[in-house]
Structure 1
Amino acid sequence: MASPARTRVTPRIIGRLRLASQGLLGKGFAGVPEAVRGMTALQAQDLQAALWAVGLRVPGAGLSEVRAALNVGTVVRSWPMRGTLHLLAPEDLRWILNITTPRLVQGMASRHRQLEIAAGDVEVCRKIALDLVSGAGSESGMPVGATRGELFAAFEAGGQPPTGQRGVHLLGLLCQSASLVPGPLEGNQQKFVAFDDWIATSRDLGREEGLAELLLRYLGSHGPATVRDFAWWSNTSLTEARAALAAVRGELVELEFDGTGYWLSPATAALLDDGVPGQRTVLALPGFDEFVLGYTDRSLVLPPEHAQKIVPGGNGVFKKAIVAGGEVVGTWARQGTGRSAKFVPEPFDDTGPLGPSALAAFIRAVERYERFLAS
């Protein structure tokens, strides 16, 4: 019996394989903690976008369910990579910080000198912060924590002025060194709590072992992707990334496209044998979604001539994206207010709207988003 023909690799096929890796095709993930753990880390500087990014990957999940996971600590949010907030599984945060923090702090050294932040200042603020947030619990036994404003006031009282971004950088350093972690939500802000009070169990991985696992999980959740994609995403050196690949390449599959090697999990690669799903799938992604942002080279799924429409002016703010068949084809936005408000597509093709089938699929996608917000 003849073997099934292997699907020819194209940019759209790579895009759909990435959708599958990211839980955006098929059954998705079983629950909110499973989705965050399965994704390794989800970009989360825009909290509302991050909540929808999780909801998209968990069929039937509502906004309240994702917020609840943050409130009880089955999902955590911190600054593990590139100085940017991400959502992670709690047991993964410490070992990832151990890998990424030294390089990040080294890269910020000049800025910290400008802000007059020395090692001694960080230690003073560490004691002030832990004295403020440790040992205080609610009747439920959960830490109460402190808001950013309360921490800044305590820093000021302790002779550590938080003005001019100094407080933000001090808080970041305390989180990146696993002293504090953003905890329960207060509205759309999080209170900071002691890391050891909030995260009871942490995995312990050495640097080489941790880098190998981080690469394996990134490629499992984001593949097909390159080693350069991983080095950028994790803010690790290309030399270390290549060494990590050498340690785990036997657990991965390599695809070659246009002279470049792309790595992915065997489970995702198996989709090539029977036909990669998602050819007609239309998704309404949040801004900053990993499908768009999680790679240093986005040109396979986002045509370079349209990149400015996703990140206008290169300002670092990623707009909501419409993905059709594995390619970013436009943005979407809310227009109007109150009952007359609606979500409208803004396709890249200025000559006409989405076709009838794609438009119907987009409407279903934003209806799902509205159900998510309401539940």
Structure 2
Amino acid sequence: MGDTRFIDAAERRARLGVRHRLAGSARATSAAEVGGALVALHGTDPASVFLAVAARLTEGVGPVGAVERALYEDGALVRMHGMRHTVFVVPSSLAAAVQASTTRPAAVRERATLLRHLAVGSSFDEAWLAETERLVLAELAVRGEATGAELGEAVPRLRSTYVYGPGTRQEGVQSVASRVLRVLGMEGRIVRGRPQGTWTSSRFRWALAEAHPERDPAGARAELLGQWLGACGPATEADLTWWTGWKVTDVRTALAAVGAVPVTVDGGTGFVLPDDPGPVPEPEPWAALLPALDPTAMGWQGRDWYLDGDHRAALYDRSGNVGPTVWWNGRIVGGWAQRPDGSVAHRLLADAGAEAERAIGAEAARLAEWLGEVRVTPRFRTPLEKELSSGGQ
């Protein structure tokens, strides 16, 4: 590998600032543009999608309206299960590739698991599940959209329960509704629509989904990996395996299919697309306040080039979910939280200098202004976020 190009941490941070639309001159004018730049926005916490887009939009573009138009009106973005069995918001142009490469195999496992649980914890079988699903789809065809509760009223079978893990320490009663809707969603037969309530709500309405075109899984993996390398390259094989959730052999096959070029990065070998340009000019100094689960903070398994390992315990929970972070020129330098009075508090974990403090303070003020009366609490609480939100300095 002695003749491969070396991409150091500074160049990786420069790429991040421009390609992730975080530097001021690189900010986007629409939610669809942000989604395309990042490939996938973590959607487990609905508020994170809006906050991630807001951090990357130019002044004067309303984040809430921009995201809602893209998701619910023009269909430029779609919410679906994807990589690592996680809910993401992805460009609709990539939905078929995500479905074929990642979601469909997970859906097969999800259905098998549900049938196994029903067989042990109830008298329901495959025929019962198929009829229940038929009734749900027929109801949505009539209604157009409905919440889980509304579907439960219309399809009494959804109110059934079963015993999960009988005879084990995990034994408990679970609802059929959430599992059935989850399977139908993962199979691409129904889709999450507008939430019941504000944009921070996770109680979504469901609607029939447009069928994804059939895709060859290998080709779909190559398309998705190529898009992600364009946004996040260089990335190591470990980064790619972690982000996609695929087998190593599938990652290697996709790398070969897109003609990925090996480069040297700190800690090993990374890959970029064959037409990826050479050294990237460093953008102007930039600051950003990114939300919990932001795709930039969660984009790579190896994070030493943008995260001080001593700060990990304060910024991530025990499961590895990142909380709200403060960035300066491509590095995480602290964390932030919204307090009950609506103010945005932040703390720097490293001395970033006076210019950074001014820029970060301006971003905090900008965030607090557009949030207004809305209060946002991350679904996965982290130590520093908890401390700051309760009044800690």
Measured in 1, the distance between the counterparts of 2:175 and 2:321 equals 19
Q: Which of 237, 260, 263 is 1:255 aligned to? A: 263
Measured in 1, the distance between the counterparts of 2:51 and 2:43 equals 10
Q: Secondary structure at the match of 2:161?
A: coil
Q: Which amino acid aligns with 1:373?
A: L
Partner of 1:113: 116
Q: Does the 8 Å contact 2:85/2:103 carry over to 1?
A: no
Partner of 2:84: 82
Give CA-to-partner distance per residue, 1:259-318, whole Å, 9 cap, x none. 522233577644x25x3225x321101110011112222232222222121113x14542
Distance 1:315-1:153 versus aligned 2 partners, 3 A rule: farther
Measured in 2, the distance between the counterparts of 1:232 and 1:243 equals 16
Q: Secondary structure at the match of 1:15?
A: helix
Match status 1:293 vs 2:298: yes
Distance 1:131-1:216 versus aligned 2 partners, 3 A rule: same
Q: Secondary structure at the match of 2:307?
A: coil
RMSD, aligned CA:
2.9
Measured in 2, the distance between the counterparts of 1:114 and 1:204 equals 29
Match status 1:170 vs 2:180: yes
Q: Which amino acid aligns with 2:147?
A: T
Measured in 1, the distance between the counterparts of 2:184 and 2:237 equals 30
Q: Does the 8 Å contact 1:41/1:87 carry over to 2?
A: yes
How do 1:1-375 and structure 2 match up within 5 A? 9-25=7-23, 26-60=25-59, 61-62=61-62, 63-72=64-73, 73-105=75-107, 108=110, 113-114=116-117, 116=119, 119-136=126-143, 143=144, 145-154=145-154, 156-157=156-157, 160-161=160-161, 164=174, 166-187=176-197, 188=201, 189-196=203-210, 202=212, 204-249=214-259, 252-265=260-273, 269-270=277-278, 272=279, 275-278=281-284, 280-312=285-317, 314-337=318-341, 341-349=342-350, 355-373=353-371
Q: Does the 8 Å contact 1:215/1:245 carry over to 2?
A: yes
Q: Secondary structure at the match of 1:300?
A: coil
Q: Which amino acid aligns with 1:210?
A: A
More off after superposition, 33-42 vs 357-366: 33-42
Q: Secondary structure at the match of 1:125?
A: helix
Give CA-to-partner distance per residue, 1:25-58, whole Å, 9 cap, x none. 3323342223213322111111111111122233
5+ residue gaps, structure 2, are 163-172, 374-393
Q: Does the 8 Å contact 1:301/1:327 carry over to 2?
A: yes
Give CA-to-partner distance per residue, 1:308-356, whole Å, 9 cap, x none. 21113x145421001112111111112351xxx421212224xxx6532
TM-score, length-scaled by structure 2: 0.78
Measured in 2, the distance between the counterparts of 1:46 and 1:31 equals 20
5+ residue gaps, structure 1, are 1-6, 137-142
More off after superposition, 117-126 vs 56-65: 117-126
Q: Does the 8 Å contact 1:155/1:161 carry over to 2?
A: no
Measured in 2, the distance between the counterparts of 1:159 and 1:356 equals 58
The number of equivalent residue pairs is 346
Distance 1:319-1:37 versus aligned 2 partners, 3 A rule: same
Q: Secondary structure at the match of 1:191?
A: strand
Q: Does the 8 Å contact 1:122/1:174 carry over to 2?
A: no
TM-score, length-scaled by structure 1: 0.81
Q: Does the 8 Å contact 1:18/1:223 carry over to 2?
A: no
Measured in 1, the distance between the counterparts of 2:78 and 2:266 equals 38
Q: Percent identity?
A: 22
Measured in 1, the distance between the counterparts of 2:287 and 2:299 equals 19
More off after superposition, 152-161 vs 19-28: 152-161
Q: Which one scores higher on RCO, CA 8 angstroms, separation ≥ 6?
A: 1
Measured in 2, the distance between the counterparts of 1:289 and 1:373 equals 17
Measured in 1, the distance between the counterparts of 2:53 and 2:310 equals 29
Q: Does the 8 Å contact 1:70/1:185 carry over to 2?
A: no
Distance 1:343-1:172 versus aligned 2 partners, 3 A rule: same
Q: Does the 8 Å contact 1:333/1:343 carry over to 2?
A: yes
